[in-house]
Amino acid sequence: MPSLVADVLLYCADFSQELVRVDKKILIVDDSPSQVRLMQDLLVHEGYRPVGLSDPLKVEETITSERPCVILLDVVMPDRNGFQLCRELKSNAQFRGIPVILVTSKGTASDKFWGQQQGADDYITKPFTREELLRAVRRFA
């Protein structure tokens, strides 16, 4: 019987509710180290491989080297805001297929609409719950 080789390793939880191992990279872009750490902790616990990045100017380089399946992107950052970055990623043929979830304190209806207009695939408002973050990530990863 031929062996199956996959880039992504999936481990299913057994009935004792042990952790699920889903070896998928999630890029977290946020200028706040505490926010990056919070999201990393939540995602690691669910079996994902989070990659944290605090410099929005290095996003394309990091995507190219890490090849994430989803990007969690803050909006309010120095040098390059998340709306601008999302628009640039979605207009680039190399990156447009990667789902972008905006994770931000900007929670008005107009902010959400603007995020959608920039190409965001989903929008989560800070402070978020564990369930909100995981539901959004699972939708795309």
Residue 91's domain is classified under what CATH number?
3.40.50.2300
Spatial contact of 47 and 21, defined as CB atoms under 8 Å apart: yes
Any domain includes 26: yes
pLDDT beyond 50 at 59 = yes
Residue 1 lies inside a defined structural domain of this protein: no
pLDDT at 95 > cutoff 50: yes
23 against 49, higher pLDDT: 49
pLDDT band at 105 (very low <50, low <70, confident <90, very high): very high
Q: Is residue 4 part of a domain?
A: no
How many domains are there within the chain?
1
Residue 19 resides in a domain: yes
Residue 69 pLDDT more than 70?
Answer: yes
Please state, in angstroms and rounded to a whole number, the distance separating the CA atoms of residues 60 and 4.
31
3-state secondary structure the chain: CCCCCCCCCEECCCCCCCCCEECCEEEEECCCHHHHHHHHHHHHHCCCEEEEECCHHHHHHHHHHHCCCEEEECCCCCCCCHHHHHHHHHCCCCCCCCCEEEEECCCCHHHHHHHHHCCCCEEEECCCCHHHHHHHHHHHC
**Predicted confidence band at 136 (pLDDT cuts at 50, 70, 90)?**
very high
Domain range enclosing 125: 10-140
pLDDT at 81 over 50: yes
49-53 and 25-29 beta bridge pairing: parallel
How many whole angstroms separate alpha carbon 129 and alpha carbon 103?
11
pLDDT of amino acid 23: 72
111 within domain boundaries: yes
User: Is residue 70 a part of any domain in this protein?
Assistant: yes
* Residue 128: inside a domain: yes
In a domain, 5, yes or no: no
Higher pLDDT, 21 or 6: 21
Residue 18 pLDDT exceeds 80: no
| Residue 72 scores a pLDDT above 60 | yes
